[in-house]
Amino acid sequence: MHNTVVIKGNKSGLTVFLDPAPPFEQLLSDVAEKFRESARFWGSVQMALTLEGRSMTPAEEFAVVNAITENSQIEILCLLDRDLNRSLRCEKALNEKLMELNSRTGNFYRGTLRAGENLEAEASIVVIGDVEQGARVTARGNVIVLGECRGLVHAGAAGDLEAVIVALDMAPTQLRVASVQHRFGEKHKRLGKGPMIAGVEDGRIAVKPLKKSFLSRINFI
């Protein structure tokens, strides 16, 4: 599979970019494989889905949604598209579900954090959006950014050296885990392609591609 399926986080959930070139059956197989391989990373979540890059019939869209849900624990709340009425209904359903999650766990934040904004969590936190330069996220547990991380992120703020920071696009100014920190400057150089994970190794912040061997360390408690 050669980048026929690309997954990115957005403010409402996930955007899946689909290559228009391959036959649909092959693409469907690639979608299944992509989400099967990353199932433990996403965990059990409820999100809106946007499909881009390829024109599809409603039946094909339904098949893609099925491929995702059957090969992961993701529940697709709705599809976002250019149909204004459907998008409005989707946004309403998503907002209601996220409010329910927030009231029950406090572990999800939907939206982009901009310069000067601070987000603090007493447990782990999932940011469904970007963390821009000048923004800050602090959590006693892990921090998962389903978007671009360009600001300061502090995981394990109560002293947990086992905490980790994950981002779909890692280009931070500073990362901290417990009392260990590393500054990356203001140039926002990406620290790798695709999802990256940062944690403490040998007393330093280490940033590596997210692989299955790391996934068992991530929890949302």
Reported pTM: 0.54
For the domain covering 5-104, report its CATH number.
3.30.750.50
8 A C-beta contact, residue 97 and residue 81:
no
Spans of all domains in the chain:
5-104, 108-215
Amino acid identity, residue 147?
G
CATH of 108-215, picked from 3.90.1150.10, 2.160.20.70, 2.60.120.330, 3.30.470.20, is: 2.160.20.70
Q: What is the DSSP letter of 114?
A: P
Per DSSP bridges, beta strands 108-110 and 118-121 are unpaired
The answer to whether 5-104 and 108-215 have equal CATH topology is no
Point out which residues pair with 136 in neighbouring strands. 118, 152
- Written as tens digits, the pLDDT of the chain (221 aa) is 468 999 887 666 788 999 999 999 999 999 999 999 888 877 777 677 888 899 888 889 889 998 999 998 887 767 776 555 555 665 565 556 545 544 444 477 878 899 999 999 888 888 888 999 999 999 988 888 888 899 999 999 999 999 989 888 899 999 999 999 999 876 667 776 667 889 999 999 999 877 544 444 444 44
